[in-house]
Amino acid sequence: MIKNDLFLRALNGETVERPPVWMMRQAGRYLPDFMKLKEKYDFFTRCRTPELATEITVMPIHQVGTDAAILFSDILVVPQAMNIEIEMRPGVGPWVPNPIRTAKQVNDIVVPNVYEELGYVYEAIKMTKQELNDEVPLIGFAGSPWTILCYLVQGQGSKNFDKAKEFCFTNPVAAHQLLQKITDTTIAYLKGKVEVGVDAVQLFDSWGGMLSPVDYQEFSWQYMQQIIDALKEEIPVIAFAKGCWFALKEMSESGASALGVDWTCSPRNARYLSGGNITLQGNFDPSRLFSPPKEIKKMVNQMINEFGKDKYIANLGHGILPNIPVDNAKAFVDAVKEWEPK
């Protein structure tokens, strides 16, 4: 039995004494011990070495005190398993040397055997579960098919992913073929994570907000729904789509256990748009962690009071920034733990 099961109880919609708290990208760049490992090993080496992934995953549990761990990995290990070359370039981020721009390229992409290609992730999960020793739950994750397509077609990060959108709108048949291949791989990948012991999974649709509401349904949400349908009977699924407040109603009817909310949507609107019956997660602006700890505490209290303590998981509205002081991250976590009802 997991000793601190607050996160799982909140996902299940149970009454809790306080909301659980974790932070997206919590196992990462703001931690000095992480930076030491970063100097020694490149990004994908850290992802592919189970011992390193485990060490990084467990760091914030010991150093910041979150109520759940999230496996250190990356959404782009999925397309790498599909035989697409992806680098992580310093100062640039994800880099695809041969972006996917033609129907022929899409045809050539394989749906892999995830156990062969991504075995290192499953080893990291087993190792991490052992290291966590049932202290807190472990979250597995994947990127949404649309978000992964954005990188594969654009070739790198972007402010507007114009080339990705152009590809979808001028070559929709190939775009949907690519999205389906990513979806099929992602379902197999996440089912494998469930088998080796993760306690919940989160789908990250970081670039969903780049699409209009109509295009979002066509090029993103229908594929996320396939993934949720394939997993919801086996494990709690959190769907997080940045900038997609307009889709909260559909998302709330999807069978997901919780929905992530970014900082551009107020708690009140998020509750209203999602129908008020589903667990919500979020939505502290990551940049607000630059505020003094006293201010952070005040804002966290306000956030919890607006969302309400039940059916709620305290989190950021996107990943923690690399230059946030560790003490400020701790202040955020401690403020949730110290919260008391008015």
Was 206 annotated as part of a binding site? Answer: yes
Whose structure tokens read 């469930």? 194
| 25 is annotated as contributing to ligand binding | yes
Q: Is there a binding annotation on residue 53?
A: no
Q: What share of the chain is helix, strand, coil (3-state, %, to 5)?
A: 50, 10, 35
69 is in an annotated binding site: no
312 annotated among ligand-binding-site residues: no
- 3: amino acid identity, one letter: K
* Residue pair 10/236 in contact by the 8 Å Cβ criterion: no
State how far the Cα of 335 lies from the Cα of 238, in Å rounded to an integer. Answer: 23
Q: Give pairs for 160-166: CB < 8 Å, separation 24+.
A: 160/210, 161/207, 161/210, 163/99, 163/101, 164/210, 165/210, 165/211, 165/215
Between CA 157 and CA 263 the distance in angstroms is 21
Residue 44 annotated as binding site: yes
* Tokens at 209, concatenated: 């907000």
* 26 annotated ligand binder: yes
Nearest in space to 118 (alpha carbons), one of 169, 66, 83, 157? 83
Question: Whole-angstrom Cα distance, residue 74 to residue 78?
Answer: 8
Q: Is 151 annotated as a binding residue?
A: yes
Ligand-binding site membership of 74 (annotated):
yes
Q: Give the C-alpha distances (Å, rounded to integers) separating 249 from 98, 229, 274.
A: 37, 17, 5
Residue 29, annotated as binding a ligand: yes
- Assess contact for 303 and 284: CB atoms under 8 A: yes
Q: Locate tokens 């099961």: which residue? A: 5
Please enumerate, by residue number, every residue annotated as part of a binding site for substrate: 25-29, 44, 74, 151, 206, 318
Please enumerate, by residue number, every residue annotated as part of a binding site: 25-29, 44, 74, 151, 206, 318
